[in-house]
A and B are shown apart, each in its own frame.
Chain A
Amino acid sequence: MTVRVRAFARMRELLGDGEFDLIVPDGATLVDCWEALRARNRKIDALASATRIARNGRVAALLSERVDDGDEIALLPPVGGG
């Protein structure tokens, strides 16, 4: 199945694009999505502990949460608005 990834700030720069499709196996969790993203650039490991992941506009409390085909997965590094 395919999820839509949106990445911001440093995370966008490391992944090379702010919005792209990611193919993950059926039944995949957010952890599996992260692993698939690491395949693009392992340097994202440095941001892992500080980055929140939102699924369809809501910050996920647990990375064991499953994703569905067509979901939006947003990678939110520490914010700097204002």
Chain B
Amino acid sequence: MRLFAVVREPIDPRALELAVRTDACGGVVTFLGVVRERADDGRSVTGLSYEAHEEMAVAEFAAIAGEVEARHAEVRLGILHRIGELRVGEIAVAVCAAAPHRADAFEACRYAIDQLKSRAPIWKKEQYTDGTGEWVENECRSI
């Protein structure tokens, strides 16, 4: 399985963990971003529509992993992001970091999801129960 990918099918976090970890890793931290039922302003959400510049997004995932490895050579990272129409409760993104010890795994996982949200060319539109929808922007770092 690819460690950095944009996918259309449901994400299997356990499969990602198995692909990322090696026997040198004593700590595995997985972050899952899941579609929730309410927008930040309280409106009811039926689902999210995601789209991506897939090649650039995968390249960005690999670049983020390179930055992590530059700081912690023993950390391994996997990042999967789903696109298409997702319903409440479905996994949109999985970031898995594995390391010999937990501190590096937690730090790498947090770094990777924060960087993904600010840099990866991926977009989401919230779909509301009244039939309308709006594009939602993350806090963005310019690159």
Binding site for B on A (CB under 8 A): 6, 8-10, 12, 18, 52, 54, 57, 59, 74, 76-82
Q: How far apart are the CA atoms of A79 and B140 in the complex, in Å?
A: 7
Residue in A57, A59, A80 whose CB lies within 8 Å of B137: A80
- Contact A81-B93, Cβ < 8 Å, known A6-B53, A9-B135, A54-B56: yes
Majority-rule SS of B interface residues: mixed
Given contacts A52-B142, A81-B122, 5 further A-B pairs with CB under 8 A are A80-B135, A80-B137, A81-B120, A81-B123, A82-B120
B117 within 8 A of A: yes
Asked if residues A82 and B33 are in contact (CB atoms below 8 Å), the reply is: yes
Which residues of chain A are within 8 angstroms of B138 by Cβ–Cβ distance? 78-82
Binding site for A on B (CB under 8 A): 33, 50-53, 55-57, 59, 81, 92-93, 113, 116-125, 135-138, 140, 142-143
Asked if residues B116 and A81 are in contact (CB atoms below 8 Å), the reply is: yes
Residue in B118, B119, B123 whose CB lies within 8 Å of A9: B123
Q: In the complex, what's the smallest C-beta–C-beta distance from B94 to chain A, in angstroms?
A: 11
Closest residue of A by beta carbon distance from B114: A82
- Contact A76-B33, Cβ < 8 Å, known A8-B53, A59-B143: no
Asked if residues B136 and A80 are in contact (CB atoms below 8 Å), the reply is: yes
- In this complex, the member of A12, A54, A59, A81 whose beta carbon has the largest number of chain B beta carbons within 10 angstroms is A81
Q: In the complex, what's the smallest C-beta–C-beta distance from A26 to chain B, in angstroms?
A: 27
* 28 sample A-B contacts, Cβ–Cβ < 8 Å, listed by A number: A8-B121, A8-B123, A9-B123, A52-B143, A54-B53, A54-B121, A57-B59, A59-B143, A74-B56, A74-B121, A76-B53, A77-B137, A78-B137, A78-B140, A79-B117, A80-B123, A81-B81, A81-B116, A81-B120, A81-B121, A81-B122, A81-B123, A81-B124, A81-B138, A82-B33, A82-B93, A82-B120, A82-B122
Asked if residues A79 and B123 are in contact (CB atoms below 8 Å), the reply is: yes
